[in-house]
Amino acid sequence: MGRSISVLGDWLLVAGLVGWVYGRTGSTGQVALLMIVRLLPPVAGGAVAGSLADRLPRQRLLVAAELICAVAVSGALVGVLRGSELIVYASVALCAFVAPLGAVSMNALVPDLVPEDRRPTGNALLQLGQELAMASGALAAGITLSSGTAAAALVLDLATYAIAALLFARIRVPAAAVAAATGRSGVLPGRWPAVRHILQNPSLRAVALAFPLVTLATGLTNATLPRHLTDLGLGAGGYGYGLATLALGSAVGELGIGAAAARLGTRTLAVATGLSCIPFAALAFASTGSAAIASLGVIGLVQGASEVALLTVVQQEAAPEFRGRAFGLVSTLIRTTMVSAVAAAPLVNRLGPPRNAILITTAITAVAAVVAAGPRPWARVPRFAVRSAA
C-alpha cells in the first residue's frame, strides 16, 4: 500500500507539472526540459541508493525517501505559486534523485519480509500496485488541473507522500534482518566488491546486461508509437489507447506469473524476453490500428512477467549484503538506457517508416533474450557462491 501510494504521488507530480509548464509557456521544449530534469538525476541516484540500502536499515530509508520527496514537492509548490520554472525544475530534480532510494530499498527489503516461495507473488503485487498507481496518479492530476490549479495537485501529492511515510513506518522487520542491516554498515566500504559479486554470478550478470537492453527496446518503441499509431488511423488519441493497453497487459502478466510461479529464474526472464519478439514484430507489420493495439497488449503481458522475474532473480541470487547495490546497479543501467532511447529515437525514426524503428527494437529484444539465457541457461549456480570473492 505504501509503495503504491508513493508511486501515485510521483505521477501526480509529473502529470501535474507537465500540464502546468505547458499551460504557462505553451512550449514543448520546456516540457521536454522538465522530462530531462526528471530522467537524468535518477541515473546517479540509483548508485547512491544501492550503497545506502546496504549500509542502513532499509525500512528507515523508505520513510526518509518519502519525507525528502515531500520537502521537494513543497519547493515545487512554492515555485508554482511564485510562477518560477527554475524553482520547479530544481525541486523536480531533487525528488527524481531521491526516488530510486525508495524503489531500491523496497526491492531489497522484500526478502526480509516475504518467504522465498511467496516472493513472486509479493513482487507481482508490488508491480501491479505501481501500474494502477501510475494510471490513477495521471488521471487524478488531469482532473485536478481541469477543475483547479497545479497547486491543488501538488497539495494532494504532499498528502500521498505523508501517507506513504506513515505506512512505511509501520513495517516491522524481523530482528534477524535488523541485525544484518546493522552489521552491514561497517563491513563493506566500497562499491567494487558488489560489482565483482554481480559480475561473477551468471544470473545477476545476465539480468544486469539483458534488462537494460529490454528497456532500450521499449523506450525506442514508446518514442515511435505516436507516429506509428497515427499512421494506422487511430488519430491523436492512439498513443493514449496504446499506453492504456500496454499497462493493462502488464497488470495481467504480473498477476498471472505471481499466481502461477513459486520460483523464478533467468530462464523465465529469457523465455519471456524471447517471446516478446513476436508481438514486437506483429506491431511493426500491423496494418490496422486494432492489430497494433492487440500487439501492445501482448507486449505488456510478457513484459509484466519479465519485470516480476527480474525482481525475484535479484532477490534470490544476490547475497543479502549486496542486495541493495545489485538493485541500484540494475536501476542505474535501466535508467541510462531509457535516457539513451529517448535521445536515439529521433535518429532511428529518420531511417524510414515507423516499422523500421520497431524492427530494430525487435532485434534488440532478441539480443536481450540471448544474453538473459547466458552461455549455460540450464546450469544452476548456488546462491551467494561467490560471496568470498569480496
Same domain (yes/no): 260, 164: no
Q: What is the pLDDT of residue 190?
A: 54
Per-residue pLDDT of the chain (390 residues; tens, 9 = 90+): 888 888 888 877 877 787 787 777 776 667 767 877 887 888 888 878 888 888 888 889 999 999 999 999 999 999 988 888 889 999 999 998 998 888 888 888 888 888 887 888 888 888 888 877 776 766 666 666 665 577 887 888 899 999 999 999 998 887 665 555 545 544 444 556 777 777 788 888 888 888 888 888 888 887 777 778 888 887 756 766 777 788 788 888 888 887 776 667 778 888 888 899 999 999 999 988 889 999 998 998 888 888 888 888 888 888 887 888 888 888 888 888 877 877 777 777 677 788 888 888 899 999 988 888 865 443 444 444 433 333
Tell me the residue type at 190. G
Per-residue H/E/C for 7-31: HHHHHHHHHHHHHHHHHHHCCHHHH
Q: Strand, helix or coil at 189?
A: coil
Same domain (yes/no): 217, 347: yes
Same domain (yes/no): 10, 108: yes
Query: Cβ–Cβ contacts within 10 Å for residue 303, how many?
Result: 24
d(CA 223, CA 341): 8
Q: Are residues 245 and 300 in contact, defined by beta-carbon separation less than 8 angstroms?
A: yes
CA distances to 3, 86, 136, 169, 340 from 253, in Å: 19, 40, 19, 30, 26
Q: Are residues 42 and 335 in contact, defined by beta-carbon separation less than 8 angstroms?
A: yes
Q: Are residues 97 and 89 in contact, defined by beta-carbon separation less than 8 angstroms?
A: no
Q: Are residues 143 and 278 in contact, defined by beta-carbon separation less than 8 angstroms?
A: no
Same domain (yes/no): 95, 238: no
Same domain (yes/no): 174, 204: no
Residues 70, 184, 103, 162, CA torsion sign: negative
Q: Is residue 24 part of a domain?
A: yes
Same domain (yes/no): 179, 259: no
Q: What is the pLDDT of residue 165?
A: 93
Q: Comparing C-alpha atoms, which of 7, 108, 96, 94 is closest to residue 61?
A: 108
> Which residues span the domain enclosing 315?
193-376
Same domain (yes/no): 324, 265: yes
Q: Is residue 160 part of a domain?
A: yes
Question: Whole-structure pTM over 0.75, yes or no?
Answer: no
Q: What is the pLDDT of residue 29?
A: 66
Stated as kind and residue range, the H or E segment containing 269 is helix 266-285
Q: Report the CATH number that the domain containing residue 229 is assigned in CATH.
A: 1.20.1250.20
Which residue, of 184, 205, 235, is where some domain finishes? 184
